[in-house]
Amino acid sequence: MARMVSTRRKTINTVLAWGVGLIIFFPILWITVLSFKSEGDAIRTPIEVLTAPWTLESYATVQERSNYLKHFWNSVILSVGSTFLGLLVAVPAAWSMAFVPSKRTKDILMWMLSTKMLPAVGVLYPIYLLFIRMGLLDSRLGLTIVLMLINLPIIVWMLYTYFREIPGEILEAARMDGAGLREEILYVLTPMAVPGIASTVLLNVILAWNEAFWTLNLTAATAAPLTAFIASYSSPEGLFYAKLSAASVMAIAPILILGWFSQKQLVRGLTFGAVK
Amino acid sequence: MKLKYALRAATALALISGAAANAETITIATVNNGDMIRMQGLTDEFTKKTGIDVEWVTLEENVLRQRVTTDITTKGGQFDIMTIGMYEAPIWGKNGWLVPLNDLSAEYDVNDILPAMRDGLSADGTLYAAPFYGESSMLMYRTDLMEKAGLTMPEEPTWEFIREAAAAMDDPENGINGICLRGKAGWGEGGALITVVANSFGARWFDEEWNAQFDTPEWKEALTFYVNLMNDYGPDNYATNGFNENLSLFQQGKCGMWMDATVAASFVTNPKESTVADKVGFAMAPHKDGISKKANWLWAWALGIPAGTQKEEAAKKFVEWATSKEYLELVASKEGWANVPPGTRQSLYDNPEYASIPFAQMTLKSILAADPTNCCEKPVPYTGIQFVAIPEFAGIATEVSQEFSAVYAGQQSIDEALAKAQEITNDAMEAAGYR
C-alpha cells in the first residue's frame, strides 16, 4: 500500500536524520580538524581552533616517526584473514543450524553468544601462555586465529539469520537434481545469500580492524596493527592532541572509505529479509 | 573470486609466520613522552656505534603497564628492555624478574646518578633499572599575576601562603583560576597528588604495623584544606583534571599557580606551546607551617632488562648508552640543553650551561628534597613517597582516590570518603596478609 508523505514531514525527517548523523559523526570530524592544526593551537577553545592556520605538520611528524604502512598491512591481513577464516567455519555451521536443526541448535547458538559475554581480560593469561608455548606471540598467524575465534559467534549468528530466510525447498530441489552437499552449499546456497554474506564480511572486517584488546596485548614489534599505532601517540605527560588526531585519522580512514563505498551493500545486508 | 582471496590470505599468513627475528635486534617497550620520543630519534647513533638494531614498541602508560606485566610474569620474552617506573622497579627486582645492574662499566659512573633515584630504583641495595629521566613536583606560578596581586613568592612557600596567593590571583571574570591541581581518580594521577599534600601536612598511609591512617586528624586536615582550596579557587570540575588537563589550562593562561611534575616546566616555558612562556616562576612544593616534609614526590622512568631475555648483553649496552653522560651531551648538541632528559645525574646540574636554564636548579632542589626511604613526618614501614612500594598499592590507591574524587565532585562528604578509604585499605591489607 502506498503512503502519502507530505513534503513537510519529509523535510522534518531529513533534518532530523542529518542532525543525528552529524552528532554521531562529530567526534570524527573534530579529530580530523585537530589533525590539521599545530600542537599549540589544538588545545585552544573551539573557535580559536577553527580560525587557527591549517597545517600538515602533525602528519609529517607521524610519517617520520612511525612505520604507518607496516601497521596498515598488518591491519588488512588480520581483519581480512580472520574474517575469511571465520567464513570457512561459519558457513557450514550456519547451514546445518538453519536447514537441519536438532533439539540442541538453539542452545548451541545461545552458548556461542555467551562466550562474547566474558570479559576478554579474563582469558588473557591462559591465551598468553598458550601463545608462548606455540611460539605465536607477536605473530600475524596467531592473532588472525584469535580474532577469528572472538568474531566467530557473530559471523555464525548473522549467517544463520540470513540462511533461515532462504526457503529450504530450493535446496531440496537442488538435491533432487543430484547436487551433493558441497555443490548445494557452494552453488545454490552461497549465491543466494550473497548480500547477507557480504554484509557479514564487511561488519567483521570492521570489528577486527577496530579490535584493540588482543591486538595490543599479543603483539610487540612485528604484528602490531593500526590500533597499536594509535596507542603509541597517547601520552600521560605532554599534550600531543594534534599528533594523536593525525594518527587516528590515518588509522580510521581506510575503514571509513571502505564503509562509504559499501554502504548500500551493508544496509541491504543488515535489512535483508525484513521486506518481502 | 572468494577462493582467490582466501588463497592470498593463506599465502600471506604462511609467509609471515616464517619470518624469524634477527639476532642483532633488541625490542624496547616504552611510553610516549617527549624525552622517550627524542631517544627513539637518536637510536641511529647507537646502532652506528654498536651494530645493534633497535625496535620500539610505544604504548600509552596504562596499556604499557598491563602489557609488560603480562609479559614479565609469564616470561613471554617479547621485550629485551622495558620502560618501567619507580613503583615497579623495586617490586619486580625483588621478585627476580629483572636483571641486576650491578656490573655497569666504570666510565658509566653509577655514583653520578642522584642518590634519591638510585635508592628508588633499587631493592635490597641492588640497582634494577637505570633512570632515563627523573622528576619531583614543584610549584609553577604566574609572575605577572603575583606582581599584580602585590605578593612575592617565597622559595619555600607554606600552604597558608598558597591559599592567600590563590585568593589574590583568582579572577573568574577573566577566566583565571587561583590554583590548578590534579583531582582525577587513579593512583598515579590525583592519588599521587593528594598523597604528597597529606605528607606535607604530617600524614602517612600506614603506621609501623601497616594500619591505615585515614582516621587520623592529619589526613582530615589535608583533605579538608585541599577541597576548600580547590572549591574556592580551583577550576570547575577539577575532579576530572589530571596532568594533561592542568597543563592545557596553565598554558592557556587560566591558572595562577599549578603544582605538578617538574617535567612540566619545559612545556610551560616553551613559547611554541605556551601562551605564558615568559611569565612563569618556580618555587618548591608547599608544606604546612611547622612540618618539615614538603609536597615533593619522586618519580623516574627507567630502563630495566627482564630476566630471561636472550639478548642480555646487547640490552645492557643500550641501557648504559641511553642513561650515560655521553647521551646527555648528544641530546644537548642536537637539540639544546633545555631538551636534555632531566633529573638523573649530578654532573648535568654541575654543568654551567645547564644550570643557566630557569627551572634547572629548582628541579634539582625538588628532587633532592624527596627521600623515597623516608617519605613522612612520622616513621613508616614502606619505601616510596607518593606511592607505597608494595604490589597491592596500585589497586588500593586507585579505589581510595576514586572515593576522594567523589568528594571533589560534590558526591560525598570528606568524613564519608575518609571512612571508606580506611575500610578499603585495611580490608585489602588484611587480605594480603600484612596485618
In order along its 435 residues, chain B shows pLDDT tens digits of: 455 555 555 555 444 444 444 458 999 999 888 888 889 999 999 999 999 999 999 988 888 888 999 999 998 999 999 999 999 999 999 999 999 999 999 999 999 999 999 999 999 999 999 999 999 999 999 999 999 999 999 999 999 999 999 999 999 999 999 999 999 999 999 999 999 999 999 999 999 999 999 999 999 999 999 999 999 999 999 999 999 899 999 999 999 999 999 999 988 998 888 899 999 999 999 999 999 999 999 999 999 999 989 999 999 999 999 999 999 999 999 988 988 999 999 999 999 999 888 899 999 999 999 999 899 999 999 999 999 999 999 999 999 999 999 999 999 999 999 999 999 999 999 999 998
Task: Give the pLDDT confidence score for residue A211 in this predicted structure.
Answer: 93
Q: Which residues of A touch B9 (CB under 8 A)?
A: 77, 80-81, 84-85
Task: Give the pLDDT confidence score for residue B8 in this predicted structure.
Answer: 58
Question: From CA A86, how far away is CA B276, in angstroms rounded?
Answer: 56
Name beta bridge partners: B137.
B261
Matching residue, cell 567464513: A87
Which of B:69-128 have CB within 8 Å of A?
70-71, 74-79
Which one-letter DSSP state was computed for residue B371? -
List C-alpha distances in Å: A55 to A126, A254, B91, B270: 46, 21, 45, 20
- In this prediction the pTM is 0.84
Task: Give the pLDDT confidence score for residue B296 in this predicted structure.
Answer: 96
Scanning every residue of chain B, which has its alpha carbon at the shortest distance from the alpha carbon of A77?
Answer: B9
CB contact under 8 A, B9 and A137: no
Model pLDDT for residues B207-218, shown as the tens digit of each residue: 999 999 999 999
Q: Which residues of B touch A88 (CB under 8 A)?
A: 6
* Residue B85 distance to chain A (closest CA, Å): 13
Q: Which CATH number fits domain B136-297+373-431: 3.40.190.10, 3.90.76.10, 3.90.1150.10, 3.20.20.70?
A: 3.40.190.10
Instruction: Choose the closest CB to B70 out of A65, A124, A224.
Output: A124
| ipTM exceeding 0.85, yes/no | no
Confidence of residue A85 (pLDDT cuts 50, 70, 90): very high
Scanning every residue of chain A, which has its alpha carbon at the shortest distance from the alpha carbon of B37?
Answer: A65
CATH no., domain A66-232: 1.10.3720.10
Tell me the longest C-alpha to C-alpha distance in chain B.
80
Q: Is B40 on the interface with A (CB under 8 A)?
A: yes
Roughly how many angstroms between the first and final C-alpha of chain B, as a whole number?
Answer: 67
Report the residue of B60, B272, B276 to disrupt the A interface, i.e. the one with the largest count of A CBs within 10 Å.
B60
Question: From CA B327, how far away is CA B133, in angstroms rounded?
Answer: 12
Scanning every residue of chain B, which has its alpha carbon at the shortest distance from the alpha carbon of A132?
Answer: B76
Q: Is B308 on the interface with A (CB under 8 A)?
A: no
Q: Is B431 on the interface with A (CB under 8 A)?
A: no
Judging by beta carbons within 10 Å of its beta carbon (0-12, 13-18, 19+), is residue B207 exposed, middle or buried? middle
The ranges assigned to domains in chain B are 20-135+299-362, 136-297+373-431
The CATH homologous superfamily of the domain defined by B20-135+299-362: Periplasmic binding protein-like II (3.40.190.10)
Task: Give the pLDDT confidence score for residue A166 in this predicted structure.
Answer: 86
Tell me the longest C-alpha to C-alpha distance in chain A.
72
Model pLDDT for residues A63-77, shown as the tens digit of each residue: 988 899 999 999 999
SS3 string of chain A? CCCCCCHHHHHHHHHHHHHHHHHHHHHHHHHHHHHCCCHHHHCCCHHHHHHCCCCCHHHHHHHHHCCHHHHHHHHHHHHHHHHHHHHHHHHHHHHHHHHCCCCCHHHHHHHHHHHHHCCHHHHHHHHHHHHHHHCCCCCHHHHHHHHHHHHHHHHHHHHHHHHHCCCHHHHHHHHHCCCCHHHHHHHHHHHHCHHHHHHHHHHHHHHHHHCCCHHHHCCCCCCCCHHHHHHCCCCCCCCCHHHHHHHHHHHHHHHHHHHHHCHHHHHHHHCCCCCC
Model pLDDT for residues B412-432, shown as the tens digit of each residue: 999 999 999 999 999 999 999
- Share above pLDDT 90 across residues of chain A, in percent, rounded to a whole number: 56
Checking if the pLDDT of A270 tops 80, the result is no
Task: Give the pLDDT confidence score for residue A40 in this predicted structure.
Answer: 80
Within B182-324, residue ranges assigned H as helices are 190-199, 217-233, 243-251, 264-268, 312-322
Q: Which residues of A touch B71 (CB under 8 A)?
A: 128
Q: Is B258 on the interface with A (CB under 8 A)?
A: no
CB contact under 8 A, B244 and A239: yes
CB contact under 8 A, B70 and A128: yes
Matching residue, cell 579538608: B224
Report the residue of A74, A201, A237, A241 to disrupt the B interface, i.e. the one with the largest count of B CBs within 10 Å.
A237
Range A230-238 average pLDDT? 82
Report the residue of B56, B78, B252, B301 to disrupt the A interface, i.e. the one with the largest count of A CBs within 10 Å.
B78
Question: From CA A155, how far away is CA A65, in angstroms rounded?
Answer: 37
Task: Give the pLDDT confidence score for residue A2 in this predicted structure.
Answer: 53
Q: Is B16 on the interface with A (CB under 8 A)?
A: yes
Checking if the pLDDT of A276 tops 60, the result is no
* Residue A7 distance to chain B (closest CA, Å): 45
Checking if the pLDDT of A275 tops 50, the result is no
User: Are A137 and A220 spatial neighbours (Cβ–Cβ below 8 Å)?
Assistant: yes
Task: Give the pLDDT confidence score for residue B57 in this predicted structure.
Answer: 93
The ranges assigned to domains in chain A are 66-232
CB contact under 8 A, A40 and B272: yes
Size of interface A-B (CB pairs under 8 A): 121
Neighbours of B116 (CB within 10 A): 24
Range A227-236 average pLDDT? 87
Instruction: Choose the closest CB to B79 out of A125, A220, A235.
Output: A220
Strand B177-180 versus strand B130-142 pairing type: unpaired
Scanning every residue of chain B, which has its alpha carbon at the shortest distance from the alpha carbon of A39?
Answer: B273
Q: Which residues of B touch A75 (CB under 8 A)?
A: none
Q: What angle do CA B252, B258, B263 make, to 5 degrees?
A: 90
Task: Give the pLDDT confidence score for residue A3 in this predicted structure.
Answer: 61
Question: From CA B401, how far away is CA B205, in angstroms rounded?
Answer: 13
Q: Is B7 on the interface with A (CB under 8 A)?
A: no
Checking if the pLDDT of A271 tops 90, the result is no
